[in-house]
Structure 1
């Protein structure tokens, strides 16, 4: 289904931004607050850091009602998220680049770091962002300082700090489409040497799809969170920080709904299973949200861990830090693979044409297990001086396990396997800034990394067969790498800086540890390491006595041996993936961000990204299908050909094509106007945001039926806040103009699921599906925050 482009007025927001700049130039506004970041493993003012960084501070996160990672792309133009069939294979994309993979043998391209501790598996990030104070979106390779899984960028997350006197805060939120949240925290100094913060929260959202079988909803989530932070400072120069955490999340997610279907289909070629029976009461049309599932779809996961940090102040202002962590992650995932509530097996036949003799449907179940241990020693120089630096030692160990069964064994459906993957990283790193002269500095960074990786792969008999091990493969690899960063910054004035940087990135070897793993793949070398080289030119400027600030960056990053899984529908209707090593890809573009305090009451902000994420070399790319000339079957689409070089399979050369889920243009505009109420004990405010995104291709195979047209979404909020800071209340409406768009699109032509074959009358059936996002429609909510 090709979603048509939608337009919404952006002129008002643009006019407000321009008017705000004019007011600020006249000098009638207050100053902007300074924004601090820890992107270079030290506390710095954002405007002093020579890098393109989007900072989502506490005020923005609260005003936008951010709950989970899914909310961040609407606030940062550099970010997009790609969704798979279950939470374990979601992907974070930075500047259009992110690894989509179903296997545990492939690292992510975007690292997620929480309080200096990287998550062992990116899937662990798709949960409630509980007790978060600041999120730094670091764009481009971050391998020199952050190492593992940061070749395309990183999300550097900082949890809320411990306040002064002990205070209790609470938050309540509810919407008219069945979402609610509740949270409470206690934070402050217990004594002169001991401080603590404990925060608990609970969230629940029913979902976006209606399950007609159960009367419930799908594509929602619920979670419980407990975070704590304990600080003990026995000496002026010595601080111990202990940070335990616990999270339990359930995502009943990842289900798509039909938006079109050619009439005359039979499910799995069974005459007893026509569309009218299998999809009864589902009104297939654009925007349809009805499905029929009789088996759960999604995942339940638990995450717990602890961080321990020691900061010791040395002579001459140096700080020696030790950061240790241990974490465990477990997820049980499950999926209704026939997407029906019919006893289909009684009507189906085996490959030899005989009845199955079974009852029920097609389903899958499995689990992920991750254990992570890290240790970092870091020496940080003072912030003053001609030379400023950070150097460190790093150790990290991840043990990952995946168990998956698709049952029962029937025709080409069914698999049962287990896989273990491990990686051990040891590194030494450093980055420093040398002031060549008072207004010019040289930036130099380097990292040496040694990595040991490997896997065990087991294949078992498929239920309902008796359990037995049928295949076993194992492999181990070692490799070392060097990454570096070189830059020059020049301060034009006290308020203006220009810079240029060159940096490299590295990601280790990969293994395609999925259901398609075979002896032939086991005999091959690992998928080669992924490398990147990035160039960035930037300009940062503060204006009108710090009433306005903006940053601008031009960037270009070249990737080699990019690791990417490509998905496709087999003739039997089963969605399969294969891990590929793309010869090369490039992302390049322009990013602009700015804020202006137009008056003491009005603050405006905007961000813009133009990104070209393009494949430069991929000669054996996947194909999409179209109807044949007779309209009776599927045939490979334009540009696809049978290649002797690649085992006579159908491939297409994707050089010059766009990466999936990489819109060229993203624009965010927002602002808040505060309304003083002199005669009342509270003040009022009104805030709003508008975000625009250009057309987006969701499929690597470039299927024209999986393009989401351009769209814009606007949100509005009004509220009041107590003058003594004791409470704040707001009413908000999201997707104000009720615009429809999809977070994912599927298109399938004449596969084995719905297209009848002999002995029935052959017919090519085309189906399209969509994944509705959280704000697929206009909805309203209320929020209350209290401190006492």
Structure 2
């Protein structure tokens, strides 16, 4: 475990924590309890309450204020499906990044084999499952204080000094700078204040868990205020690697955020912010899960290949949490940037400008063969990204009309340098034992058999040069026309331009340093030497320069009607799109070695979205019940296609004809008294391919020869070139998912402090889902449920001490299953966290 940098930050955090505990509380702070859109927010700090919640009559619940429509308003007044999670709920449940947030917002799905290969989806759509490719857009946008984060890798970092998180479901292109077809995650951090305040938090737990957070804010002058926040998380890995003697898949996160607020006049705020976060874990390893029969010859499937080299995996029980992968592992990840936000009240409206620069550096190392054999000995694609964004918005609120109009500019550069190398076990594992130099020779007793000669592939190395220049610009706007006191019509439009230019170049060399080519550089003739053919089949040289550019026009319209003071109904239609993309992982070659450049570009998705919803509150607003039903049809859905080779291409994007996701979401919250609250949120999602006739085949229909007849699934023989998976579910989507919980408290006196003793529970459950782009009998992840408990004391002057248990019943479950390359039938997986427990102490002043 790498702990040096953590200790440095822990010392700094401890200094701020000591300061926090030495200062007399300036205001009373009790608790904030927020679940989702149906939740009630409690912030007993009287000064902050006016800014963070909208007051309600005595004896009624407080409204949750959101900025989903770029203005402050109650979440119950927004004709949009939205989930809201506050800072206290994040802390109580240990949801310190987006991956853990999904347990509180069941419509959000998060999958990650490593920070770069991370995908987010809402209602089953967002990004192709299990694909690392910089050339396409995310369908779920992440915004932090109005700044768009283009890399979903940022979702793996710890939340830093967060005030509130809003998860918006459905297309958001007419309100947000970057177009998002599935939804958006809108994160608001705590802002600088002119009243001195702060917060310190320390947590410890099993698996060596340590977490420290601190934030402090106050005035520097009458017109300038500052805020500084730090966070550090460290935890031992959950898998033990017998090959290295280390625990892997650890957590090692450090983050800083600083903000300066200049308020020269009452109607002008200028905020300069900067942040820096880094991760340096030994990650991300997998465990053996199972094998499944493919259509390769039996002597080329996993069991036979392993036996031929005398290899036995360290454990066949994945929940022994043992692995023996032998390649280096690293998930070095650094992200940061700076922004200037200007908010100017110009009288009838507010003008907002957000200028930002962000960077992302990725330093990985992986074991691509998922075994303890030296097959793929090196696999890494370090990457550097820079992005610049500029957003300009004008918001107006009037008696009959409210509107927002905006312009957005975006430029991103990504530079990636990759290295892939094969080892001494590669020939025996990857090559056909019958493929020999001498016709008729076969079997390892024959020295001329390629598979028995380790020098054929040992030391073969590929160097990748991958580049992306991505430019986007948009004009967008939305109007709310209050036709009557009850009826509002809300149309919106977006005009968008996207341009992407890319380069993918892979140079391959054999173990002696000679270039591996398709054609003789002097004669131009196709090289047919069996050794060279074997080398380039395993690591294929290629160069392509794909590009894409297009204009798009999209729009939406929402009608909402207030049937009663606390009953709002709405209906929405949105015609949206997701920008086209380019393949930057390589594309298949034809038999002559020419890249199939026609698949280098991916068409835009065309989205038709329908939604109806009802938002209600009753019993003096102490009960909230919201229901939404939706249907989204997507033509030219951007889906993963797997070429099937070991390392030729790791998969590329193609367009599926049509996808549909539809379902119902219910959010319920009740707070009968200050002593008790309860929430239940659930959704049913049917996300499936309506038509996808050229899909990649699942492993049981892969690995065989070309020709007819096609063999039965899992039977050696011929395999189809592609499969028709029309009607099958999308990967990663559970039909049913729920989050639920509650808290009960009693007045108490502890350590001479007045406050509350409380017991809290938060649970989540989901039904089974496919962990492969094309559903396979081998990669279904069975449904599971998780339970988190906490017991603690919170004082009236800002002290909170609680013990917690997460995954209390030690549920064994998988976060993700992966099909090993080469159609060997090996299935590897990433087990979810076991039971964890610990203690947290926080103090607010």
TM beyond 0.5: yes
**Contact 1:416–1:515 (CA under 8 A) maintained in structure 2:** no
Corresponding residue of 1:353: none
1:498 CA displacement: 0.4
CA distance in 1, matches of 2:744, 2:514: 65
1:599 equivalent to 2:673? Answer: yes
CA deviation map 1:400-457 (0-9, x unaligned)? 1222221138656753321111221111111010011111010010011112221122
1:247 CA displacement: 0.8
Counterpart selection for 2:638 from 563, 566, 571: 563
Corresponding residue of 1:207: 237
**Contact 1:90–1:123 (CA under 8 A) maintained in structure 2:** yes
CA distance in 2, matches of 1:393, 1:330: 28
Corresponding residue of 1:421: 468
Judged with a 3 Å threshold, the aligned counterparts in structure 2 of structure 1 residues 738 and 83 are, in CA distance, closer, same or farther, namely: same
Judged with a 3 Å threshold, the aligned counterparts in structure 2 of structure 1 residues 540 and 521 are, in CA distance, closer, same or farther, namely: same
Counterpart selection for 2:403 from 389, 406, 414: 389
**Contact 1:258–1:288 (CA under 8 A) maintained in structure 2:** no
The alignment partner of 1:71 has SS state of helix
The alignment partner of 2:545 has SS state of strand
CA distance in 1, matches of 2:87, 2:488: 31
Corresponding residue of 1:159: 189
Counterpart selection for 2:604 from 529, 542, 547: 529
CA distance in 1, matches of 2:716, 2:401: 58
1:553 equivalent to 2:624? Answer: no
1:476 equivalent to 2:543? Answer: no
Judged with a 3 Å threshold, the aligned counterparts in structure 2 of structure 1 residues 149 and 312 are, in CA distance, closer, same or farther, namely: closer
CA distance in 2, matches of 1:305, 1:573: 34
1:188 CA displacement: 2.2
1:300 CA displacement: 0.5
**Contact 2:395–2:403 (CA under 8 A) maintained in structure 1:** yes
Corresponding residue of 1:616: 690
Judged with a 3 Å threshold, the aligned counterparts in structure 2 of structure 1 residues 51 and 287 are, in CA distance, closer, same or farther, namely: same
What TM-score, normalized to structure 1? 0.85
1:683 CA displacement: 2.0
1:447 equivalent to 2:462? Answer: no
CA distance in 2, matches of 1:274, 1:696: 35
Corresponding residue of 1:58: 87
Corresponding residue of 1:772: 831
RMSD over aligned Cα atoms = 3.0
Counterpart selection for 1:273 from 309, 317, 320: 309
**Contact 1:36–1:43 (CA under 8 A) maintained in structure 2:** yes
1:535 CA displacement: 0.6
CA distance in 1, matches of 2:259, 2:510: 46
Q: How does 1:344-493 map to 2 (within 5 A)?
A: 344=374, 362-382=377-397, 384-408=398-422, 411=427, 415-462=462-509, 464=511, 466=513, 472-493=543-564
**Contact 1:254–1:297 (CA under 8 A) maintained in structure 2:** yes
CA distance in 2, matches of 1:516, 1:476: 14
Q: How does 1:270-309 map to 2 (within 5 A)?
A: 273-276=309-312, 279=313, 282-309=314-341
Counterpart selection for 1:337 from 368, 372, 376: 368
Q: Structure 2: 5+ residue runs without aligned partners? A: 1-37, 39-57, 293-297, 431-456, 518-540
Quick check: 187-196 or 600-609, which moved more? 187-196
Quick check: 504-513 or 671-680, which moved more? 671-680
Corresponding residue of 1:26: none
Q: How does 1:209-224 map to 2 (within 5 A)?
A: 209-224=239-254
CA distance in 1, matches of 2:512, 2:336: 36
1:220 CA displacement: 2.2
State how many pairs are aligned.
714
Judged with a 3 Å threshold, the aligned counterparts in structure 2 of structure 1 residues 636 and 255 are, in CA distance, closer, same or farther, namely: farther
CA deviation map 1:693-715 (0-9, x unaligned)? 11111112211121122221111
CA distance in 1, matches of 2:84, 2:142: 14
CA distance in 2, matches of 1:654, 1:98: 19
Q: How does 1:672-691 map to 2 (within 5 A)?
A: 672-677=743-748, 681=753, 682-691=755-764
Detail structure 1 runs of 4+ shifted over 6 Å in the superposition. Answer: 262-268, 467-470, 639-643
Corresponding residue of 2:19: none
Judged with a 3 Å threshold, the aligned counterparts in structure 2 of structure 1 residues 686 and 312 are, in CA distance, closer, same or farther, namely: same
Corresponding residue of 1:502: 573
CA deviation map 1:128-154 (0-9, x unaligned)? 122222111111111222253511111
Corresponding residue of 1:589: 663
1:694 equivalent to 2:767? Answer: yes
Judged with a 3 Å threshold, the aligned counterparts in structure 2 of structure 1 residues 152 and 639 are, in CA distance, closer, same or farther, namely: farther
The alignment partner of 2:277 has SS state of strand
1:568 CA displacement: 7.1
**Contact 2:369–2:820 (CA under 8 A) maintained in structure 1:** no
**Contact 1:451–1:478 (CA under 8 A) maintained in structure 2:** yes
Larger relative contact order (Cα-Cα within 8 Å, sequence gap ≥ 6): 1
Judged with a 3 Å threshold, the aligned counterparts in structure 2 of structure 1 residues 103 and 463 are, in CA distance, closer, same or farther, namely: farther
Judged with a 3 Å threshold, the aligned counterparts in structure 2 of structure 1 residues 49 and 289 are, in CA distance, closer, same or farther, namely: same
Judged with a 3 Å threshold, the aligned counterparts in structure 2 of structure 1 residues 568 and 79 are, in CA distance, closer, same or farther, namely: farther
Corresponding residue of 1:348: none
**Contact 1:624–1:636 (CA under 8 A) maintained in structure 2:** no
1:74 CA displacement: 0.5
Counterpart selection for 2:119 from 77, 91, 98: 91
CA deviation map 1:175-226 (0-9, x unaligned)? 1122211111111233321111100111112222111122221222211100
Greater fraction of residues in strand: 1
Judged with a 3 Å threshold, the aligned counterparts in structure 2 of structure 1 residues 598 and 614 are, in CA distance, closer, same or farther, namely: same
Q: How does 1:139-158 map to 2 (within 5 A)?
A: 139-148=169-178, 150-158=180-188
